[in-house]
Amino acid sequence: MATIRVPGALRLLTANQADVEVEAATVRAALAALDQRYPGIAGKILDGEAVKPFIRIYVGADDITALQGLDTPVTARDEIAIIPAIAGGR
Amino acid sequence: MKATVVGAGGLGGPLALALAAAGVELVIVDPDVVEVSNLHRQIHFTAADLGEAKATTLAARVARAGGRAKGYRLRWVAEDGDDLSGDSDLVVDGSDDPETKFAVSDWAVARGKPYVIAAAVQFGGNVLVGAPGTACYRCLFEEPVAAATCAAAGVLGPVVGAIGGLAAALALAVAHGGAHGNLGTLYVFDDLRASPDPRVVRFSPRAGCSACAQRKAS
Q: What is the ipTM score, two decimals? A: 0.77
pLDDT tens, position by position, A50-63: 999 889 999 988 88
Q: Which of B9-13, B122-126, B134-138 has the largest mean confidence?
A: B9-13
pLDDT at A90: 62
Q: At residue B147, does pLDDT exceed 60? A: no
Cβ contacts of B96 on chain A, cutoff 8 Å? 87-90
pLDDT at B73: 98
Considering chain B, what is the average pLDDT of its residues? 91
pLDDT at A58: 93
- Residue B112 CA: distances (Å) to CA of A30, A53, B69, B136, B208: 40, 25, 23, 11, 19
Q: How far apart are CA B60 and CA B190, in angstroms?
A: 33
Q: Which of A83-87, B88-92, B182-186 has the largest mean confidence?
A: B88-92
State mean pLDDT over B179-192.
87
Do residues B134 and B212 touch, judged by C-beta distance below 8 A? no
pLDDT tens, position by position, B62-109: 999 999 999 999 999 999 999 999 999 999 999 988 899 999 999 999
pLDDT at B144: 76
Q: Give the up-direction half-sphere exposure of residue B127: CA atoms within 13 A in the CB hemisphere.
A: 25
A10 min Cα distance to partner chain B (Å): 9
Indicate the angle between helix axes B12-21 and B157-175, nearest 10 degrees: 40
Cβ contacts of A13 on chain B, cutoff 8 Å? none
Q: At residue A87, does pLDDT exceed 80? A: no
Q: How confident is the model at residue A34 (pLDDT cuts 50, 70, 90)?
A: very high
Q: At residue B145, does pLDDT exceed 80? A: no
State CA B36 to chain mean position distance.
22
Cβ contacts of A69 on chain B, cutoff 8 Å? none
pLDDT at B25: 98
Cβ contacts below 8 Å, chain A against chain B, sum to 119
Which is nearest to B101 in space by CA: B65, B127, B123, B66? B127
Q: Is A56 on the interface with B (CB under 8 A)?
A: yes
pLDDT at B150: 60
Q: How far apart are CA B189 and CA B125, in angstroms?
A: 5
Q: Kindly determine whether residue B191 and residue A87, on different chains, have CB atoms separated by under 8 Å.
A: no
Q: Give the up-direction half-sphere exposure of residue B207: CA atoms within 13 A in the CB hemisphere.
A: 2
Q: How far apart are CA B159 and CA A2, in angstroms?
A: 30
Q: What are phi and psi of B211, to 5 degrees?
A: -70, -45
Task: Provide the whole-model pTM.
Answer: 0.90
State mean pLDDT over B184-198.
90
Cβ contacts of B142 on chain A, cutoff 8 Å? 53-54
Do residues B143 and B101 touch, judged by C-beta distance below 8 A? no
Q: Are strands A2-5 and B124-130 parallel, antiparallel or unpaired?
A: unpaired
Nearest to A89 among B11, B186, B194 (CB): B11
Counting residues of chain B whose pLDDT is more than 70, the rounded percentage is: 96
Question: How far apart, in Å, do the first and last CA atoms of chain B sit?
Answer: 26
Q: At residue A71, does pLDDT exceed 70? A: yes
Q: How far apart are CA A12 and CA A7, in angstroms?
A: 10
SS (H, E, C) B88-99: CCEEEECCCCHH
A55 min Cα distance to partner chain B (Å): 6
Q: C-alpha dihedral over B213, B201, A17, B193, to 10 degrees? A: -120
Best probe of the A interface among B141, B150, B192, B203, by most A CBs < 10 A, is: B141
B143 min Cα distance to partner chain A (Å): 6
Q: At residue B152, does pLDDT exceed 70? A: no
A50 min Cα distance to partner chain B (Å): 13
pLDDT at B151: 60
Q: At residue B157, does pLDDT exceed 70? A: yes
